[in-house]
Copies of this chain bind each other. A is one copy, B any other.
Amino acid sequence: MDFELRYRSLRRTIDDYLAGCLVEQDPRSLYGPMKYVLAGGGKRIRPVLLMVACEVAGGRSEAAVHAGAAIEILHNFTLVHDDIMDNAPSRRGRRTVHTKWDNNVAILSGDALLALAYRVLLRTDSARLKDITKIFTEGVLEVCEGQAYDKDFELRRRVSLEEYLLMIQKKTGRMVTVSTEIGGIIGGASDGELDALRRFGDLIGQAFQIQDDLLDIVGDEKKFGKTIGGDIREGKKTFLLLEAMGHARGKDRELLMEVVAKRGIRKSSIPRIRSIYQSTGAIDAAIKRVRENIEEAKHQLHRLRSSESTLMLHWFSDMLLNRKF
């Protein structure tokens, strides 16, 4: 199977679904921004994982398309609200909702996206819909917890690497795990298979976020769609910063403390920070962590029945490891 082609096909399925799932027109101040958000593209990683996980368990991906779309809508709801909280002017090369419209519109259309996610999820034809809806709901709460920690950490001088990992597990990882778990349930996975899918999701989710932190420093600006060094400029406590803080000494350490204390630093300091990340081994540690996670994630896949879809999860893991975007 050409996995790249299969991925694109599934992604298009989700794009098409999202383009068609809002038929309401009025009030335009509500449905206009919602449609704008859902048409914004993105990698659609969560729904693709959900649909492939369904196949892995023996189901058809078509059975999982509603749940996949629901996860993607949910993800977009969090982006709309997070972007308000983070004062982010743009995302994926387009203006954020609160910038294009205003905060009120972004709050309200975000709320409605969350409700839309439930509407779409409830279209799923499964005897275990109640379990699915519960998992989905607990995921929403955990994402909120993760975002709360993230905002808390911005105001704190000291954050441990363990705290950071807990935060990203909730904010980013949980929804990946929810995706593989719900996909597995729809596909009829056994308890053992569900456990493997959950662990796979956990590991991939964490790797994904650490890779994101890495790409902020070593990525290709054009492919990544974000300004390189943006995390440093904003003083974000990433895996790299926290890891480097644990090892830097002397003037290097002072500079990193300054990034934290002043919650950001001027653009001209980015190369020096990058070299500190290199010399302290933070970049290597991040690369190592991502690689180990991906290896362990692929190891979990051995517990699943072997099929083209299971191989696709292998491919997907490697793609995350090698992604430049």
- A29–B152 contact, CB under 8 A? yes
Name A residues whose Cβ lies closer than 8 Å to a Cβ of B. Answer: 24, 26-27, 29-30, 81, 84-85, 103-104, 107-112, 114-116, 118-119, 122, 129-130, 133-134, 137-138, 140-141, 144-145, 147-149, 151-152
Nearest-CB distance from A77 to chain B (Å)? 8
Determine the main DSSP class of A at the interface with B. helix
Supplied contacts A112-B144, A118-B140, A122-B134, 12 more A-B pairs, CB within 8 Å: A27-B145, A27-B149, A29-B151, A81-B111, A84-B104, A108-B151, A109-B144, A111-B144, A115-B137, A115-B140, A122-B130, A129-B130
Alpha-carbon distance A57/B148, docked complex (angstroms): 42
Shortest distance from the beta carbon of A155 to any chain B beta carbon, whole Å: 9
Those 10 A-B pairs whose CB atoms lie nearest each other, nearest first = A30-B148, A115-B140, A112-B144, A27-B148, A85-B104, A118-B137, A115-B141, A29-B148, A119-B137, A27-B149
Q: How many copies does the complex hold?
A: 2
**Structural contact, B30 and A145, CB atoms closer than 8 A:** yes
Instruction: Report whether B81 and A108 are in contact in the complex, using a CB–CB cutoff of 8 Å.
Output: yes
- CB-based contact A108/B147 at 8 Å: yes
Query: Which chain B residue lies CB-closest to A30?
Result: B148
Q: How far is the CB of A281 from chain B (nearest CB, A)?
A: 30
A-B residue pairs in contact (CB < 8 Å), sample of 28:
A24-B145, A26-B145, A27-B149, A29-B151, A29-B152, A30-B144, A30-B148, A81-B107, A81-B111, A84-B107, A85-B108, A107-B107, A108-B144, A108-B147, A108-B148, A108-B151, A109-B144, A111-B114, A112-B140, A112-B141, A112-B145, A115-B141, A115-B144, A118-B118, A118-B133, A118-B140, A119-B141, A133-B133
